[in-house]
Amino acid sequence: MIVPIEPSRLDAFRAAVAEQGAVLYRDLPWRRTRDPYAIWLSEVMLQQTQVSRVDGRWQRWLERFPTVDALAAASASDVLEEWQGMGYNRRALALLHAAQQISEAGGSFPADERSLRALPGIGPATAAGIRAFSFNLHAVYLETNVRAVFLHELFAEEEDVPDRDLLPLVDATCPPDGGDGLIDPRGWYYALLDYGAYLKKTLPNPSRRSRAYTRQSRFEGSNRQKRAALVRALLARREGATTAELAADLSRSELAAGRDALSDADVAALLDQLAKEGFCEWERGLWHT
């Protein structure tokens, strides 16, 4: 059962967050632009990746692919190469495929939620981030730092809080399009993000009291780790490689990490998975990215 929160308490909450945001503001490079392409890129890169790691990689990506049309014209291998070290490779392919759709539609980035969410890889939080930070529009932006603030301030004594209890409050507290004279959507969510980051550094992570909280699964030795290593091996062999060559590459890295070598059949199964997802293809007896 959702217990209603009094409007006066929400007003006090907004004032407290705005005050904390002013004190804790982080001057991050992607906050110095309103280019929806650049902001979209930052939102994708920041998913489960530390800010310090994104700062630098975001700039490098934009030097290589400065516009959505430039990204759309790039090869999958170039995009995957630039993405290495940034987490799930499928996010890079989603960026490429979404850029291709935007470019084919004329190159103008959509601002409405439905059109944004129709693009590959763009979910509710990413769409809301683009709307708020690029277009300064009202949006329901619920990500881990934002969630931490709402849990800390409004659900301090509760456990296992579902997002369905938070989403109406996120919606109610976000200012209207362009702002309300006190703060705008862009500044509001910056304040929430910075306050949430501060809380997670100084307190036991409030997000752990969310029903949506999950510990990230072990990466080393996982199937995900082997797939990532195989993508790197493919990128290192731009002229193409046989299954046996890739199995040897992957087995060397597995043995160096103290794990067992993989058979050609094991690697062939991984390659078939990657091919179905668009990471590579079999052509004239060789695997290519």
Contact 148, 199 (CB under 8 A): yes
Confirm if 74 and 65 have CB atoms less than 8 A apart. Answer: yes
Residue of 43, 82, 143, 153 with catalytic role: 43
254 is catalytic: no
Both structure tokens of 129: 């981030």
**Can you tell me which residue has the tokens 């100084």?**
202
Phi, psi of 26 (to 5 degrees): -110, 125
Closest CA to 63 of 97, 98, 38: 38
Number of neighbouring beta carbons within 10 Å of residue 173 = 17
Q: Which amino acid type is present at position 137?
A: L
Report helix, strand or coil for 157.
coil
CA–CA gap between residue 136 and residue 133 (Å, rounded): 6
How far is residue 237's CA from residue 185's CA, in Å, rounded to a whole number? Answer: 46
* Cα–Cα nearest to 269, from 250, 256, 284: 250
Handedness of CA 31, 35, 38, 44 (dihedral sign): positive
Residue whose pair of structure tokens reads 């997802």 in the numeric block: 277
Residues 6 or more apart whose Cβ sits within 8 Å of residue 163? 142, 147, 210, 211, 212
**To which residue do tokens 């920041």 refer?**
46
**Amino acid identity of 88?**
Y
Cite the active site residues: 43
